[in-house]
Amino acid sequence: MPALNALAAATPGGQLPYSDLVHFVNVYVIEPHPAAPDPSPYRGTVWETPPVSDRPQPRTLAERIASAREVRPLMTGNQVQVVDDLKPGVQVNPFWCTYGTAPNAAYLIRTDGIVHTVQTWFDAAAMEAALRNLLGR
């Protein structure tokens, strides 16, 4: 979250911050490193990473929304948070299933809906370069 916050607040060329030029949307999907005994989606086994492994994998949409509300204060600046769907009894995860099974991925999507940049692991410097390219800066 700190790297995303810094990117949103960055001011290219001393102008408006990126978060005033593009929409920063954080999609809360599954927990990448849930607390034991829940498995990590990366390995299929327990893979705790302190201090972020502080919660179990949500089993219901209500639990996922509660977890998203807990981490929302970590987001600074002009950012939006949405929650991927989770149907009772069946983990549907439409965003996760559509855009890729990577909870730390990042996407730069143009206003016409075309995906401009995909990162399977968020890299702030590379995303800033992609933003500059897209914005012509």
- Per-residue pLDDT at 90: 66
Amino acid (1-letter code) at residue 59: R
What is the C-alpha to C-alpha distance for residues 12 and 8, in angstroms, rounded to an integer?
A: 11
- Please write the tens of the pLDDT for every residue from 29-54: 988 889 999 998 888 899 998 888 88
What is the C-alpha to C-alpha distance for residues 131 and 35, in angstroms, rounded to an integer?
A: 34
> Given a cut of 70, is residue 127 above it in pLDDT?
yes
Cβ within 8 Å of residue 77, ≥6 positions away: 5, 8, 9, 17, 19, 24
User: What is the average per-residue pLDDT within 13-28?
Assistant: 88
Prediction pTM value:
0.83
- Per-residue pLDDT at 73: 93
Q: 3-state class of 24 per DSSP?
A: strand
Which residues are 87's β-sheet partners?
Answer: 90
Rounded percentage of the chain residues whose pLDDT exceeds 70: 97
> Given a cut of 70, is residue 89 above it in pLDDT?
no
